[in-house]
Amino acid sequence: MVDSYATGIDIEVSLPETHIWPEMGDRTRLTAEFCYSGAFYCIVDAEELGFHGLKSADLGALSHAAGKLKSLLNGKPRYRGLFHRPDKSELRTLYGVIVRGSNKGFVPEGVDGAELGVCFFGSGQQVDLSPCGSGSAARRALAHAKHR
C-alpha cells in the first residue's frame, strides 16, 4: 500500500513570459492542484492551460503546455514544497502533469462521477490516456480531499 494524499488544492501558479505557450493568450496565471501517491503529480484542467477541453485539443500542443508547466514547477523553489517528501530524499520532483477535461466522460449507473484526463509523465514527456496506478490513486486522493 502507498500513501496517497493531496499536497495543494487550488494553487495559483504564476507563469513568466518564458513559460507561456500560445494557447494561454494574455493569461499569466493558472490554477492547479498537487497530489502524491508514490510519485508527485500536478492536476490541472485543460481550460486552465488555455484549451477548450481535451477532445478537441491537439496532443502535441497539450504536451508542449504540460512540459512547460512541469519545467516551471520543478525549477521554482516556491512550488517545491508541493512535491517534496523530507523522509524520502529521492522524491523531490514533480513526476507528471495530469490534464483533466471539462467533459466528464461516461458515468455508469451507480457511480457518482467520472473524469476525462490525459497524463504527461517521466523525463521524456511520455503520454498515457490512463494515468497508471499512482496517477489514479493521486486523482482519488484529490477527490477525497475535496469531498467528492
pLDDT digit string (tens) for 10-61? 999 999 999 999 999 999 999 999 999 888 999 999 999 999 988 888 999 9
Third-level CATH fold of 1-105: Diaminopimelate Epimerase; Chain A, domain 1 (3.10.310)
Q: State the Cα angle at 120 between 115 and 125, rounded to 5°.
A: 170
| Reported pTM | 0.87
The domain locations on the chain are 1-105
- For 111-148, write each residue's pLDDT tens digit: 776 777 888 887 766 777 665 777 777 877 788 788 77
- For 70-109, write each residue's pLDDT tens digit: 999 999 999 988 988 878 777 788 999 999 886 666 777 8
CA 95 to CA 131: how far, in whole Å? 12
